[in-house]
Amino acid sequence: MSDTVFIGMDLGTSRTSITTSTGVRTTVWSYVGYALDHVSRKHLGGRDKVFGEEAVENRMAVNLVRPLDKGLILDDEESRQAVRDLLEHIIDEASIPSGSTIYGVIGAPAEASVDSKALILSTASEFMDSIIVCSEPFAVAYGLDFLSDTLVVDIGAGTVDLCRVHGTMPKPEDQRTHHYAGDAIDARLAELLTKNHPEAQFSNNMVREIKENYACVGTHMDPVKVTFPVKGKPTEFDITAELSEACFGMVPPTVEALQDLIATFDPEFQQKMRNHVLLGGGGSQITGLSRAIEDALVEYGGGKVRQVEEPQYAGSNGALKVALDMPEDFWQEFIEQQSEKA
């Protein structure tokens, strides 16, 4: 009988991370680049496709596909193929022994539809023997053993997912999602730069890099000065105000969703939950974000907000823990269902 390997995966709009029971952890940007012609293939060292950061770096020589939007697979043939290739690549990167039985848990946005989850399951089932799709913020909480009176905010590129955790599997009413996430910050920053510095030339990739290097909210942030070409000449711009405004745009919808989850919970436990807000996901690394959310919660009675350690792997680590704790009967039930469909 083959050995069983358990994996946890955070299938994200911007990055996909995997953690395995064999001790491997790896992450890749959620991009796939396909060679455009024979010259492109030669440039890529004879490969037909490249992944992640390498794909982005070679975007002028490939058909660059970002197949996930708001944490879900785009519903077109190109995106479905790219997700399939991305999953195959990251599982290969995890160095799972050949012939292993693979049981996996994949994190998805909190309010993902049944159809979206089904698409993730059907794509991943080519590479895993049995699969669970669970809420991304719940996976974060589960991995950290915060299973009582906790509000988890998982900030990705496509969505901000919130989950109310109170000692049981979350129900739909325990979860919220909004879309002012990393991509929305990029779009807003680009809009403000175009408006305030119309002479500057920049790409979407340059805007994303600025956000990832300097993202900050608050009135006391350090000056952010960057260089953009103007008619081909490198020119320095102070974009402190634009970056702060773009990043702060995440705070109001997040606080609104948090307050909604608090206000609709048992009143005896509302204060405890308000004082245990946990930020995860790549966006949780925005400097000053925890403080800004705490400040905004003051008018609702206050709150305590803190960031998880290792935000890049909090989701996949938690998904792995869910997988390891899942009864064997569940995995077998999924396998039997797949056999019946075949």
Sign of CA dihedral 76, 81, 84, 85: negative
Domain ranges for the chain? 4-140+313-341, 143-180+251-308, 182-248
pTM of the model: 0.90
- The CATH number of domain 143-180+251-308, selected from 3.40.50.720, 3.40.30.10, 3.30.420.40, 1.10.1060.10: 3.30.420.40
Question: Does this chain's domain 143-180+251-308 share its CATH topology with 182-248?
Answer: yes
Question: Residues with Cβ < 8 Å from 98, sequence gap 6 or more?
Answer: none
Buried b (16+ CB within 10 A) or exposed e, 263-300: eebeeeebeebbebbbbbbbbbebebbbebbbbbbeee
What does the alpha-carbon distance between residue 53 and residue 30 come to, in Å, rounded to a whole number? 9
- The CATH number of domain 4-140+313-341, selected from 2.20.28.120, 3.40.50.300, 3.40.1400.10, 3.30.420.40: 3.30.420.40
Phi, psi of 96 (to 5 degrees): -75, 130
What does the alpha-carbon distance between residue 142 and residue 75 come to, in Å, rounded to a whole number? 30
- The CATH number of domain 182-248, selected from 1.10.10.10, 3.30.420.40, 3.30.70.1380, 1.10.3720.10: 3.30.420.40
Helix (H, G, I), strand (E, B) or coil at 329: helix
8 A C-beta contact, residue 33 and residue 51: yes
pLDDT 10s digit of each residue in the chain, 342 long? Answer: 469 999 999 998 999 999 999 999 999 999 999 999 999 999 999 999 999 999 999 999 999 999 988 778 888 899 999 999 999 999 999 999 999 999 999 988 877 777 788 888 889 999 999 999 988 999 999 999 998 899 999 999 999 999 999 988 889 899 999 999 999 999 999 999 999 999 999 999 999 999 999 999 977 778 999 999 999 999 999 999 999 999 999 999 999 999 999 999 999 999 999 999 999 999 999 999 999 999 999 998 899 999 998 888 999 999 999 999 999 988 988 777 776 665
